[in-house]
A and B are shown apart, each in its own frame.
Chain A
Amino acid sequence: MELKVYKKIDKIKFGVLSPKQIKKMASAKIITPELYDKEGYPVDGGLMDIRMGVIDPGLRCKTCGGKLKECPGHFGYMELARPVLHIKFIGIILDLLRNTCRDCGRILIPDDKRKLYLSQLKKADEQGGLFLRRKRIKNIVSSLKTIKKCPHCKSKQKKIVLEKPTTFIEDEERLSPIEIRIRLEKIIDKDLKFFGINPDAFRPEWAVLKVFLIPPVTMRPSITLESGERSEDDLTHKLGDIVRINQRLFENINAGAPEIIIGDLWDLLQYHITTFFDNNVPQLPPARHRSGQELKTLTGRIKGKEGRIRRNVVGKRVNFSARTVISPDPNLMINEVGVPMEIAMKITVPERVNEWNMAFMKEHIQRGSKNYPGANYIIRSDGKRKKITEETKEQILEEIEPGFVVERHLKNGDIALFNRQPSLHRMSMMCHKVRLLPGKTLRLNPAVCPPYNADFDGDEMNLHIPQRQEAMAEAEILMEVQTQLISPRYGLSIIGCDQDAIAGNYLLTQEDFSLPRDEAVDLLMEIGIEDFSGLPDRNIIKGNEIFSCILPKDFSFKGYAKNYMPGKPENEQPQGAIVEIKKGKLIRGVLDKSNLGVGKGLLLRNIHNNYGSAKSIKLLGQIHRLGIKVLTKYGFSVKISDTDMNEETKKEVKRLIDNAYEEVDRLIDKFEKGEIKSLPGRNKRETLEISILKLLNDTRNKIGEKVIEMTDRNSGTMTMILSGARGNLLNIAQMAACVGQQALRGNRIKKGYEDRTLSIFKRKDLRAEARGFIKNSFKTGLEPHELFFMTMTGRDAQMDTALRTPKSGYLYRRLANALQDLKVEYDFTVRDSGKKIVQFNYGEDGMDVSKSEGGRLNVREIIDSFEE
């Protein structure tokens, strides 16, 4: 087998093409604006000359002999009848003309002061780069007062202004590009260095074009429309204009036409060449199609998000990828992805044939591309790719030998990368093992939703299959789900239980939860546990005993549940607040969000610490499934009566609201009489608003407390809230008793009509209900005016998200761009790409957050475990 030798690019040097180089590298001289002759064959010396590459199937390039897609394209050139300025170099031309002598071409700084200023300029370079450097030269020259008189040849200097975009005026007189070129030629290399120009890479006279480089045909291909008509690329159109005008200019000069006509044509040529480079020059009308659409020329092609650099050079397209809708499947392992058959038979994995797998691979080929598990292509040792079809099958089977590569269908256990956009962090693309499933969606375990931020309301995700052993190994070792359990953002688990799983485990580990033995065994079987020796020898099994079966036998842990009150002694803690696991047995405590949840998950973090990622992902899968199975087996539901209030509470709530209304009225009264004492830095009106807002919010909180007091803690709604699965106490108060004050930008609502929010209120009504207080609950239903207030805040929230996304996206892009090449070196310093030290030790202690526990090393636990 042939060994490929790859060359590595060591560095890239930038420079400007000189006219000589242009002529040397060009393979065709373009002389006519015609494109094709009558037969539709490219004209010699035209813009589609086949010496510049081919874009038609069947033709061969005259320069390299390559066919379509083989020939990379070659440049052409054109002699310009008169020199023309390059729009992108206008700035530097102006600087050079202003700061050099119009006669001798020397810089307007005397020789004896050169050294002094050079060091000054170097500083400017460091501070603000090239731009500041040029500005500084201008300042130096004007401060030396040599602007009027050359210090070298003593000739008088004139003032030069640039009339945008491309006209230079010297004392009312226009400088022609010819004159400019002559002056630029006179500048000596030594002086150019002063301007930060490297004379080896760029001579200023090259900025005045005499020879024009024509890009290859392959970068401006024409499209053949359905009607058989050809539609040329924007660049070809523009080039056609340039060539045409250039020819006319030539003819007119040769015919000795009057100066005015030549001047006009010259300006036109300047315009066309300018717009060829950049069609978005200020002060210049952009060149347009006949339809009125603006042409997209060179600058437009390169720039911006859709431009060449960000679209094609930094971003790349891939093969062997799939995308569809996702749906959940809790029966999958957390590190698996369910792949539909359609995808599995289209995307392939290359497998090299050797003597041991020969028979196995032959079976795949025998089955072909239509039967699963088959193969779609083989690649012979010489690199030729062959499709496996009914016809070619026999022959391929005969000639197959070690060294061939078979591209076989996807199978269970293959490595895949799974991704959901926006890919905001590294957990947005993780490695999963393929699992073939019936159906047409990609399936994932709901426990991995949080890192992807995925839900199933129509989300789509991407699947990539790495094609080389190296890539597969890297994906598996570095990117598999279990390696990403701990977020590098805060050092706690990012994959944990969510919603159902939390509620289920919460119910399971309640003190009074128990099951007959056979049902407990059922439950454990369903989550894949077959060892029941952990269960006590009783007919009734308690919930925590079932949970203990999952845990490793030597695991000990002490933690706190969600309702733990810090600062209180243990015996005053609410029931289940202290979670204790000893030797693999859950002794006491309720498992809820603070031990199993995403971003908290202290129990999970501990398991990960002690048993490693492989074990903890397995455990997490079991805990997750256990929670869901508990719910599916024993039922879980919320009902409207969960939010019913009893008579007593109803009265209490009404009293609270009435009190608040009265209090607000009193405040308004005080305000109107001017008795209100204003807070420092606020006027009386603002003070009133602040105190009313505070009062009403307090009222709602009090109502919330009352509601919670009376609600049945065992109801579905409360279970969800207390376990941390979904919802919070405010939600239930809003459903049951009172929605409360609607705040817009931190204030009560005051927008709307003149001096009032809605037309049903009197003018200057400051009462609670006239300014966005909703006293009804969601269940009793809102009054019309209350609904309006609600929609106002709702709309504000929507707007907020709509405005935030692009803003934070841009911040993120800038951050990523600024920090992307900071990395830890072998000496543990953090350096940038120029090897400049940014930190001597990453984060001052060198710790990797994703290997830490919430950003620290848990010394306490090490000591404790050492004790044992």
Chain B
Amino acid sequence: MNTSFANSARMVGAALRMLLVLTVLTGVVYPLLVTGIGQAAFQHKANGSLVKVDGKEVGSELIGQNWNLPGTDKPDPKYFQPRPSNSAYDPLSTGSSQLGASDPRLVKRVEAARAQVAAFNAVPESRVPADAVTGSASAIDPDISPAYAGIQIDRVARVNRLPAAQVRRLVRDHTDGRALGFMGEPRVNVLELNIALTKLARH
């Protein structure tokens, strides 16, 4: 009994020392090595792909934003609008609604969103795509589908007093295809599109 207790104690001691050594290796050396490589080779991306306009940081390419009238939660018709968000695009509160695909509350929300998007863009409800009326997984989805960008073109052009053809070209230029041609879905980055739109409207 005594020797088996001593054996176990020795084993626990070795286990503790092993954990500490491996903590140094995988918890200090490994992340610092990767951070070193990342910061040296891909500094912009490693720090969050921040976007500047006129020298000021206005967001991250990868993180979606609200495009509301200043000080309100009403969408600003001047801009392309993003998908609904579970957290009003707050990156410190990511995640989705978690409602089931047949949940009555989700049904109500989708109905309301469809009516709102259709009215806001003056299109029939049948043209409103799925991503425009559903919350994303992250709540900070930076993208919308080309179809959702498509139904917003006329409204955006009208409010910014731009020719619709010019805005349509802008959307086309900011539509990303699938990665390598087949991975993921085609998408339009809302922040980049709205920055380009702002520049266009200014001239």
Q: Do A and B come from one complex?
A: no
- B binding-site residues for A, Cβ under 8 Å: none
